[in-house]
Amino acid sequence: MSPVLILGCVGAYFALLLSVAWWAGRGATNAGYFLGDKQSPWWLIAFGVIGDTLSGVTFISVPGEVGTRKFAYLQVVLGYVLGYAIIATVLLPLYYRLQLTSIYSYLGWRFDAWVQRVGSFFFLLSRTLGAAARLYLAVAVFQHFVFDGLGIPFAVTAAVILLLMLAYTWQGGIKSLVWTDLLQSGFLLLGLVLSLAALGQQLGLGPMALAQKVAESPLSQVFFWDWRAPNHFLKQFLSGALIAVVMTGLDQNSMQKNLTCRTLREAQKNIFAFVPVLVLVNLLFLALGALLFEVATAREIVIPDRTDLLFPTLALQHLGGFAALVFVLGLTAATFNSADSVLTTLTTSFCFDFLGLDRRTDLDERGRTRIRHRVHIAFAGVLLAVILGFWAWSQNSVISLVLKMAGYTYGPLLGLFALGLFTRVQIGGPRSIAVCMAAPLLCAILDHNSKSWLNGYVFSQELLLLNGIVTGAGLLLFCRRPFIDHPTKIGT
């Protein structure tokens, strides 16, 4: 597929996206930008979040990792089911009862402003790194197959993509994104299904024979039982549950869309409708990976050293125009969907948790909008800088990189919310910042030395739980304060 045709597809897609964003976000106020005026239908959120959860990492990196990890990632996905049940029954009722816009306002209500800010800081850090990693993967693919041949530098490619995102999230925010996510999730799923069809055509197999081919593949092993290995089932399952809780339930980016539903019951219906679809779609992406390796072997295609490039290499260079077009549309949808809402939710968290925009009585609607726009632009610049950092240093599978970063950056959030929800202790003060910074550092040292210190044990995503425990223990030891009861205490 020629670079010009790829650019034409991306341009047409963006024109459609911008039209939908303009239609949905016209006349949006700050209330519409931050919470969609609390008028989003639950089914719209449920379908749109599919693409936001999967992103370009799932579209490219999950199939590529099948060659080294087989279907072990499905163990993590099964853990998501437990995690989303906790979100729907514990966290969403809390957020709706307190009528939150930024979920980290809960930490300020339960503890103090220091804890609220440190919680928001770790969200900003986590989401900036995670979104940049996802964007980096997609931009790198476009750069490798399109823009390198045109002599356009990687930095220019990344900057243009971020400017496009800035354009359609500028005014409408969440009010626009719930509708653009619907469009992008549809294209992403269409790309997945049509990619499977294209591989079936290459192998001369129909749907049932294709499923049997995947089931018989040596790459389709799901469960692993070596307790010292990072892919042990219990480690992966419990880690998946924790990852779902922290990367969705304690994450402003994911929760802000759920908080746009009219009622708590509708938000819970969104979660329970979304979960089975998430499991099925991830299974299909793993099946796609097994079939990519089958086609590469059958056609004696050299598998790239970086398995993230396997899918784009086959789709754009070996499987014909149809497969290339499907891949470009799917990746474009994944690229925009994985990071557009992040610009909005990073802006929301910073405006509410650090600038106190909801408490500023000296500002009118125009003043609040001016501040929001400046923060929005600033975070686009931060994302660009981090993407360029990944381009300079990252050589690993991005799905592994994203999950590893989650273990370090979401651990303090897990510890903070656990203390708030399940204990009656009071913590706070500036020392809470030092403790929350020290916990990931201690876990990183243990992770680096675990083989020699723990008889060959290798940490996987359970590092997230350890990080949360270390954070909570440190806060109890060094930041404890006299308990102050709240008139609407959790559990009363």
Asked, for residue 473, whether it belongs to a domain, the answer is no
Residue 254 lies in a domain: yes
Residue 175 lies in a domain: yes
pLDDT tier at 418, thresholds 50, 70, 90: very high
Measured CA to CA, the distance from residue 342 to residue 132 in angstroms comes to 10
Looking at residue 481, its amino acid is: R
Domain limits for position 13 = 3-397
- Range scoring the smallest mean pLDDT among 281-285, 294-298, 421-425: 294-298
**For residue 443, is it within any domain?**
no
What CATH number corresponds to the domain at position 254? 1.20.1730.10
Answer with the residue of higher pLDDT: 396 or 401. 401
Residue 462 CA to residue 439 CA, distance in Å, equals 14
Tokens read off for 160: 């243009």
Asked whether residue 81 is domain-assigned, the answer is yes
Predicted local distance difference test score (pLDDT) of residue 488: 41
Residue 89 pLDDT > 90:
yes
The pLDDT tens digits of the residues spanning 304-318 come to 777 777 888 888 777
> What is the number of domains present in the chain?
1
Does any domain span residue 492? no
Give burial (CB, 10 Å; 0-12/13-18/19+) of 187. Answer: buried
Tens digits of residue pLDDT in 231-266: 888 888 988 898 889 888 888 877 877 887 888 998
Instruction: Check residue 395 and give its pLDDT.
Output: 53
Q: Is residue 481 assigned to a domain? A: no
Q: Is 442 within the bounds of a domain?
A: no
pLDDT band for position 352 (cuts 50, 70, 90): confident
Nearest-angstrom CA–CA distance, 415 and 480: 14
Residue 39 is predicted with a pLDDT of 63
Question: Does 301 have pLDDT greater than 70?
Answer: yes
Q: How confident is the model at residue 33 (pLDDT cuts 50, 70, 90)?
A: low
